Structure 1
Amino acid sequence: MSKHILSGIACAILLTLSSLALAENAFPTTKEADWTAKTFTFNSGDKFNNLRIHYYTIGDKSKPAVLLLHGTNQPVRSLLAKGFAGELFGPGQALDSRKYFIIIPESIGSGKSSKPSDGLRMAFPHYDYDDMVTAQYRLIKEGLGLSHLRLVMGYSMGGMQTWLWGEKYPSMMDALVPMASQPNELSGRNWMMRRMLIESVKNDPAWDEGNYKQQPPALKTANIMFSIATTGGTLAYQHLAPTRALADKLVDERLAAPVTADANDFIYIWGSSANYNALPNLNRITAPMLIINSADDERNPVETGILAGEIKQLKQAHLFLIPASTETRGHGTMMLAKFYSAKLKTFLASIPGYDK
């Protein structure tokens, strides 16, 4: 690898660390811990002993609790970066961590929570979003001893889980904020691309039915392809790469980055969305909802008209659609909380029980 590329990677790492430091300086120290469910029964019927859920907390446990749910393959550090936490968790901001106790669990299959790469590989029980939500609920109730949440808010996969939270535990929270998500089952290009992600890895001979000696090469290329195709924003990419040379530069930078994912974990977590469908039980949701989506979301294209009819089934729901621009990032727009922080703050202020 050339000195130029190494230098570029080093600069990117320093910038990331600087962003995290800037964000964390604005709110109390983030704490990490594990909670273990001694027994856990998956929807598949499989039973698992000592299921580990790793989680992060910010603030005082005596304050109203906010449950924040991450996206697929999304490291928690992205929720602690300047563009997100730096816009939401600081003094006077929408999720001021002096006023709220913020809980960020790593879902089954993610981060330091139980996952196939811990040792079981493809013998690990197949899980779905409902399993993830059940585990989160048990963490809140059994692990943290909390009986109520001020807010459940999530991005992408976490947004879909937010819909499920409202249906499974309707009296558990004051408010719901699903972001970059919809309640309908995965379909169209969204599911087709996920299916191709999984197939790309499984069809790589190096995968060897999950018994690989090193990460299959298809893991990197499939992940980069999916990311470019379904996140980033059409206008934003054209602005960043108006020539082939600049587009190649963006691709080369991604290809030069090290692989940090595990192939079996990757297959499991993308496959976990297969049976998601919150549509049939929308009438169970009673908490007020602020649904935040972006007009350039590649995975949830606004032109499909999904949500137009569904939102009428909800008792108290409002859709906030962020207009597309060269500054938005398609499906990834929610990591730039500046686009909706004021709306979120106003929404929470309108919900009874808000601590002024």
Structure 2
Amino acid sequence: MHIFVWGETHPEFADALMPMACQPTAITGRNRLWRAMLLDGIRSDPAWQGGDYVEQPRQGLRTAVDLLLLAGSAPMPMQRDLATREIADGWLAAQQDRRIPALDANDLWYQVNASWNYDPSAGLEKITAPLTWINSADDFINPPELGLSEQYAPRIRNGRYRLIPNSVDGHGHGTHTWAVFWKADLAELLAHSGR
């Protein structure tokens, strides 16, 4: 998301840009709803105390982790890997046990809230650097069926859009953290930009 903002705010600064797992538009629809639910889950925990908590608001963090797990998941590998009720239930419990102690409610709340007014859509024509924008078909947060890439990609002068196909090897919203899916795109982008 920062790449779109940076690319239009400082078009002369970058030699190449590669936004991944994002859209260059306001956070609306289902994307806004799951974020609002996460923020409300934290805020509604009485232990949060307006952010001045003594101990982490565990119920609020539990709700947040539940939503993060769903929003970041990929359906095909989860169906394969969580093939029985017992496995799925055990996986969820293990995720909660592992993730909740590693979180700070205020930090997470501010991370999610930071994108509340995000919307670089008005300035996409200002982006001049070669840009390769990559999303994945299994991304709950940026689903391709919304048609946003078809709407916005043509406005980016030196831009190219690629959708990583859905597969059992995907990682949902986290697919962008696995270079195997986009390393060839990066090499092509760098070659095109003269780097």
CA separation in 1, counterparts of 2:48 and 2:68?
A: 21
Shift of 1:204: 0.6
TM-score relative to the length of structure 1: 0.53
Q: Report the equivalent of 1:215.
A: 56
2:149 aligns with: 307
Q: What is aligned with 2:44?
A: 203
Q: Which one of the candidate residues 145, 153, 163 is aligned to 2:4?
A: 163
After TM superposition, the structure 1 = structure 2 runs for residues 219-238 of structure 1, keeping only pairs within 5 Å, are 219-238=60-79
Separation in 1, partners of 2:110, 2:92:
26
Contact 1:220 1:259 in 2 (8 A): no
Identity of counterpart residues, as a percentage? 36
Q: Work out the number of aligned pairs and report it.
A: 194
Give CA deviations for 1:110-147 in whole Å, capped at 9, x if unaligned.
Answer: xxxxxxxxxxxxxxxxxxxxxxxxxxxxxxxxxxxxxx
Supply the distance in 1 between the matched residues of 2:149 and 2:162 (Cα, whole angstroms).
12
Query: What are the Cα deviations for residues 147-199 of structure 1, in whole angstroms up to 9, with x where unaligned?
Result: xxxxxxxxxxxxx0000010110000111000000101001111111111111
The residue matched to 1:290 in structure 2 has which SS?
strand
CA contact (8 A) 1:198 1:270 kept: yes
Q: Which amino acid in structure 1 is aligned with residue 152 of structure 2?
A: E
Structure 1 residue 252 corresponds to structure 2 residue 93: yes
Greater relative CO, 1 or 2 (CA 8 Å, sep 6+): 2
CA-CA distance at 1:265 after TM superposition: 1.7
Q: CA deviation at 1:242?
A: 1.4
2:158 is aligned to 316
Quote the residue 1:263 is aligned against. 105
In structure 2, the partner of 1:176 is 17
Equivalent residue number for residue 168 of structure 2: 326
Equivalent position amino acid for 2:24 in 1: P
Partner of 2:189: 347
Tell me the alpha carbon deviations over residues 200-222 of structure 1, each in whole angstroms, 9 at most, x when there is no partner.
11111111122211000123312
Asked if the contact 2:44/2:60 (under 8 Å) is kept, the reply is no
Match of 1:289 among 131, 134, 154: 131
Q: Distance in 2 between matches of 1:255 and 1:318?
A: 38
What secondary structure does 1:350 align onto? helix
Secondary structure, aligned partner of 2:15: strand
- For 1:202, give the aligned amino acid: R
**Long gaps (5+) in structure 1:** 1-159
Q: CA deviation at 1:290?
A: 0.3
User: In the alignment, residue 235 of structure 1 is paired with which amino acid?
Assistant: M
Deviant stretches of 4+, over 6 Å: none
Q: Partners of 2:123 and 2:76 in 1: how far apart?
A: 36
SS of the aligned residue for 1:321 comes to strand
1:230 maps to a residue whose letter is A
> Equivalents in 1 of 2:124, 2:185: separation in Å?
23
Q: What corresponds to 2:121 in structure 1? A: 279
Structure in which a larger fraction of residues adopt helix:
2
